[in-house]
Amino acid sequence: MAKTQIRESVKFRMLVRLMRMPRAHVLGHLEFMWMTIHDSGNPVFSLKKHIEVAADWEGPHDEFADLLIEVGFLDKLPDNKGFEVHDYWENCPKYVKDRERQRAIRSQKSATPREKSADVSENTPLTQPNPTQPIQDPDPERGGSDISIEYILKNGETWKLTSARAQREYLREFSDALGGDEAVIDELNAARRWCVANDSKRKTARGMPKFLTSWLQRTTKQLRKDAAAQPDPDAAQHTLECAEAEHEQREREEREAALVDGVDKEYEQAKAADQQRRQKLGRGA
C-alpha cells in the first residue's frame, strides 16, 4: 500500500500461503486494488465483486475478498454496509491525503455561511470522502444536485455522470431489475473503478453512455441467470414427494410379489404331499 515493508508483514505472508500463488502475483492484485482506491479516494467497497474488479482478480468469485477479510487487509462494516481497507488513512500516500484535504477546503469555500462556521485549516483532521454517496433526484428549487460520478476516459480526461442523467437513463430503467437505486449506484461506481483499473480499455466521452448501459444490462442478465439457477423449493418438494411415492409403490409391489410367491410355494408343497400320500395308498392296495 505505500509501505515497502508490506512484503514482509505477517498478513501478506499469510495471504500468499492461503492463495498458493507467487508472491509477485499476490502483491500485484493488492497493488491494483490500492491504486483504484488511491484514484477514487474511497477505501470502502459495497460488494465483494467490486473488490475483485478493482484487484483485477479473475479467480473463483468471492475467494480473493474472503481471504483479504480473513487475514485482516479488509474490515467488514457493521450492518452489512460493505468492506473497508484496514487503516487506509493511516497508511495511504501523502498525495492522497493532500488531495482529499484540498477537496475539503474547496467544499468548505462553496458551502453556505452557516456551513462555513467550522473553519478548515491545514491541521484539520482528514475525514474519509464518500464519492459513492447515493445520487438524489434533482431539486427544482436549487437547480439540481451537485452529486455526480466521474469516469476516466481513454484520453485521460474525465466524463461526469450527473444526477439528472443518472436518474433519467439508468435509475428508472434498472432500479427494479437490480433491487433498488442503491444497487444501480453500486454498479455505476463499480464501472468507474473498472475504468480506473483498465486504462487500455477506457472509453471515449461519446461511448460512455453505451458502456454504462451495457454494464447494467450484463449485471441484470447475470442476476436473472443466478436466480434461475437457484432450486425452486416447490419443485424440489414435488420431486421429493414423487420419489417417496415411487418408493412406497415399489415396496408394496415387492410385498405383494412375496405374498404370491408364498402362496404358490405352499400350494406346491401341499400338492407334493398329496402325491406322496396317493403313492403310499397305491402301494398299500
Give Cα separations from 182 to 135, 185, 272 (angstroms).
9, 5, 86
Residue 110's φ and ψ, nearest 5 degrees, are -90, 5
- Global pTM reads 0.41
- Dihedral angle sign, alpha carbons of residues 46, 90, 59, 204: positive
Q: What is the pLDDT of residue 131?
A: 46
Answer yes or no: do 279 and 221 share one domain.
no
Answer yes or no: do 49 and 11 share one domain.
yes
**Residue 270 falls within a domain, yes or no?**
yes
Answer yes or no: do 59 and 10 share one domain.
yes
**Residue 85 falls within a domain, yes or no?**
yes
Task: Rank 124-128, 218-222, 265-269 by mean pLDDT and report only the highest.
Answer: 218-222
**Residue 274 falls within a domain, yes or no?**
yes
Above 70 in pLDDT, residue 15? yes
Could you say which of 185, 206, 229 is where a domain stops?
229
- How many structural domains comprise the chain? 3
- Dihedral angle sign, alpha carbons of residues 45, 47, 52, 53: negative
Domain that holds residue 29: 4-91
Answer yes or no: do 218 and 238 share one domain.
no
Could you say which of 229, 249, 277 is where a domain stops?
229
pLDDT bracket for residue 137 (50, 70, 90): very low
Above 90 in pLDDT, residue 68? yes
Tens of pLDDT, residue by residue over 163-178, are 888 888 888 888 888 8
Answer yes or no: do 27 and 82 share one domain.
yes
What one-character-per-residue DSSP string does 223-249 give? Answer: HHHHHHHSPPHHHHHHHHHHHHHHHHH
Question: Cβ distance 89 to 126 under 8 Å?
Answer: yes
In the 3-class helix/strand/coil scheme, how is 43-80 assigned residue by residue?
Answer: CEECCHHHHHHHCCCCCCCCHHHHHHHHHCCEEECHHH
Tens of pLDDT, residue by residue over 190-221, are 888 888 888 788 899 899 999 999 999 999 88
**Residue 154 falls within a domain, yes or no?**
yes
**Residue 113 falls within a domain, yes or no?**
no
Could you say which of 91, 112, 130 is where a domain stops?
91
Average pLDDT over residues 70-85: 88
From the list 227, 129, 131, 111, the residue with the least C-alpha distance to 177 is: 227
Answer yes or no: do 236 and 225 share one domain.
no
